């Protein structure tokens, strides 16, 4: 996709640009290699680097950001190398046109590769355009919660779409979000595009879920009010919510909500909320900078006021202490 960027444009930080629209925040032209380097360092740190930029390099770049995700479209020439090493969440490269060499494999137009906290990639763009999608871990976790997948371990995502048809579905999802940015769609619509991308990551890069056991139904077989209650908990797990708030959100009595959870999930709404909060705390501990994060801080963030009680629940669930997880 061609851009109409001027030869030079300032590099912005995430959150700059018009608040009402969700279009591209920055477009930079072929002569901006120094500003390009500054942008990458400021925005991604070690999560993404582009090696080989320098005087005479041919690069055209634009990026946009919304709630939980960033989209970068980079047109490269002359063997510039992309290196992805995200510390949390995922980064996915989609070859739009031209050719990208990934080790011994060539990515052609429409093909993608995923990097996560345990597995990076290094790709050399011989020519063409690459779209880079960076999704924060919490956005993917929310999508996993809403489909009843529980805690999503990023390491279980595959580096490539598990089926060719799913690769095409991922490409369509990316193009949908890019087109909204091209059209400078309202910010709320672009933010919603992050939910589309997160759901597409789970559908396209994760192994298909195992068939449900006889003891439990698939989430899509659950009653609609229960699924709405689960989605409300997933979205508001960090807030001060309880049975009354859950019931109000799904227009049922607290007693009816209690019955739905007991009947179909064999747990109370409070137990479900606590399990979701433990999952989120676990994910935060895995992704945290241990030099600046404490277990107590993470516990309070997710509604656990007593660190000792949190540690007991955490060990019962994950088999190790939260301090062990934080230390890596």
CATH of domain 219-327: 1.10.10.60
114 φ, ψ to 5°?
-110, 140
Predicted confidence at residue 152, as pLDDT, reads: 52
142 φ, ψ to 5°?
-60, -45
Predicted confidence at residue 104, as pLDDT, reads: 64
Residue intervals of the chain classified under CATH 2.60.120.10 are: 26-204
Which class for 268: exposed (0-12), middle (13-18), buried (19 or more C-beta within 10 A)?
A: middle
Residue intervals of the chain classified under CATH 1.10.10.60 are: 219-327
Predicted confidence at residue 96, as pLDDT, reads: 86
Q: Average pLDDT of each block of 10 consecutive residues along the chain (328 residues)?
A: 27 33 51 62 69 62 84 76 81 84 76 83 77 88 70 66 80 88 83 88 72 47 86 84 94 95 92 89 78 90 93 88 85
162 φ, ψ to 5°?
-70, -20
CATH of 26-204, one of 3.40.50.300, 3.40.50.2000, 2.60.40.1190, 2.60.120.10: 2.60.120.10
**In a 3-state reduction of DSSP, which class is residue 211?**
coil
Predicted confidence at residue 261, as pLDDT, reads: 93
pTM, full prediction = 0.56
Judge whether 76 and 101 are in contact, CB under 8 Å. Answer: no
- CA nearest to 181, candidates 28, 23, 27: 23
Predicted confidence at residue 74, as pLDDT, reads: 81
Predicted confidence at residue 312, as pLDDT, reads: 94
Predicted confidence at residue 274, as pLDDT, reads: 93
Predicted confidence at residue 127, as pLDDT, reads: 72
């Amino acid at each position: 996709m061609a851009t109409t960027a001027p030869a030079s444009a300032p590099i912005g930080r995430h959150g700059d640009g018009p608040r009402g629209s969700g279009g591209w925040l920055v477009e930079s032209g072929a002569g901006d290699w120094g500003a390009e380097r500054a942008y990458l360092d400021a925005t991604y740190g070690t999560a993404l680097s582009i090696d080989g930029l320098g005087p005479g390099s041919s690069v055209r770049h634009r990026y946009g950001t919304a709630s939980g995700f960033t989209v970068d479209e980079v047109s490269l020439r002359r063997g510039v190398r992309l290196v992805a090493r995200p510390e949390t969440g995922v980064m996915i490269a989609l070859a739009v046109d031209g050719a990208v060499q990934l080790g011994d494999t060539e990515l052609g137009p429409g093909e993608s590769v995923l990097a996560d906290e345990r597995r990076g990639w290094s790709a050399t763009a011989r020519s063409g355009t690459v779209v880079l999608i960076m999704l924060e871990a919490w956005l993917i976790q929310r999508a996993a919660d809403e489909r009843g997948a529980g805690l999503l371990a990023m390491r279980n995502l595959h580096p490539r779409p598990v089926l060719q048809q799913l690769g095409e579905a991922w490409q369509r999802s990316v193009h949908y979000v890019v087109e909204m940015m091209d059209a400078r769609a309202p910010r709320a619509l672009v933010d919603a595009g992050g939910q589309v991308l997160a759901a597409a990551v789970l559908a396209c890069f994760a192994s298909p879920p195992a068939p449900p056991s006889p003891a439990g139904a698939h989430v899509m077989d659950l009653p609609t009010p229960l699924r709405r209650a689960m989605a409300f908990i997933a979205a508001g797990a960090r807030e001060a919510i309880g049975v009354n708030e859950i019931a109000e959100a799904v227009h049922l009595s607290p007693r009816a909500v209690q019955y739905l959870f007991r009947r179909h999930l064999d747990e109370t709404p409070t137990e479900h909320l606590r399990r979701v909060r433990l999952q989120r705390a676990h994910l935060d501990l895995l992704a945290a900078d241990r030099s600046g994060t404490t277990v107590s801080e993470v516990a309070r963030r997710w509604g656990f006021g007593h660190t000792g009680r949190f540690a007991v629940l955490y060990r019962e669930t994950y088999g190790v202490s939260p301090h062990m997880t934080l230390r890596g």
